[in-house]
């Protein structure tokens, strides 16, 4: 797999990877593993390790986001997972509530992006939340970001955004800038060099700050 390092923001290196190769690697690995849910690991928590491993193969250093998020939560700059502290919840109930929360936070993020961004054309984003490996897509139609939550994975031409629900929550609530998320390593972008550059410019100039 051909990888090119591009320093697009201070303190961070964003990796530009051939998106078609990544999508094929991800899809092929999942189809070879019976019983693995391709959309996310909330339906089958036992599949999360495999899904994360596959994600790391398709998008090098993707799992570094998890370490960066953990450090930010220890520092208090990102919210912790309140549901993890709920001893009264069954694993199934906790997974359901996490999916509901992710859906709400992603829609709130899209609404914030539409409010603060211009209406020019932008690349579509495939956002994967590292915790459950939950994929969603932010498509831009006539300059409007339209979220599709809980999809099978990225589509050709998408810029892949690896991040975590805590990051989405902080950005959607105006507590974290997208550029700061990238700089701190709690958000990584993947795609062709041109697509990643265009996405980074959009997120830096017009998306939530």
Q: What class does CATH assign to 3-205?
A: alpha beta
Q: Is the pLDDT of residue 117 over 80?
A: no
Supply the pLDDT for residue 140: 86
* Cα separation, 133 vs 162, whole angstroms: 9
Supply the pLDDT for residue 126: 97
Q: Considering the entire predicted model, what is its pTM?
A: 0.80
Is the CA virtual torsion 164, 44, 46, 26 positive or negative? negative
Q: Is the pLDDT of residue 43 over 50?
A: yes
* pLDDT tens by residue, 155-183: 999 999 999 999 999 999 999 999 999 99
For the chain, give every domain's residue range.
3-205
* Cα separation, 42 vs 22, whole angstroms: 22
The candidate with the shortest Cα–Cα distance to 19, out of 124, 129, 170, is 124
* Cα separation, 41 vs 36, whole angstroms: 8
* pLDDT tens by residue, 122-147: 889 999 999 889 999 999 888 789 99
* Cα separation, 204 vs 63, whole angstroms: 23
Q: Is the pLDDT of residue 93 over 80?
A: yes
Average pLDDT along the chain? 80
Supply the pLDDT for residue 197: 92
Asked if residue 185 lies in contact with residue 68, where contact means CB atoms within 8 angstroms, the answer is yes
């Amino acid at each position: 797999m051909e990888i090119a390092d591009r320093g697009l923001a201070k303190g961070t290196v964003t990796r530009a990877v051939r998106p078609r190769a990544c999508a094929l690697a991800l899809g092929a690995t999942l189809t070879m593993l019976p019983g693995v849910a391709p959309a996310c690991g909330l339906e089958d928590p036992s599949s999360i390790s495999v899904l994360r491993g596959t994600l790391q193969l398709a998008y090098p250093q993707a799992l570094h986001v998890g370490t960066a998020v953990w450090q930010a939560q220890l520092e208090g700059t990102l919210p912790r997972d309140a549901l993890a502290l709920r001893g009264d919840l069954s694993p199934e109930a906790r997974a359901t509530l996490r999916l509901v929360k992710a859906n709400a936070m992603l829609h709130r993020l899209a609404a914030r992006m539409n409010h603060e961004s211009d209406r020019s054309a932008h690349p579509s984003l495939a956002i994967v939340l590292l915790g459950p490996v939950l994929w969603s897509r932010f498509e831009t139609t006539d300059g409007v970001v339209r979220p599709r939550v809980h999809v099978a994975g990225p589509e050709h031409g998408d810029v892949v955004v690896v991040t975590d629900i805590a990051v989405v929550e902080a950005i959607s609530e105006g507590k974290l800038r997208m550029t700061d998320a990238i700089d701190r390593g709690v958000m990584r972008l993947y795609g062709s060099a041109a697509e990643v550059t265009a996405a980074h410019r959009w997120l830096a100039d017009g998306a939530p700050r």
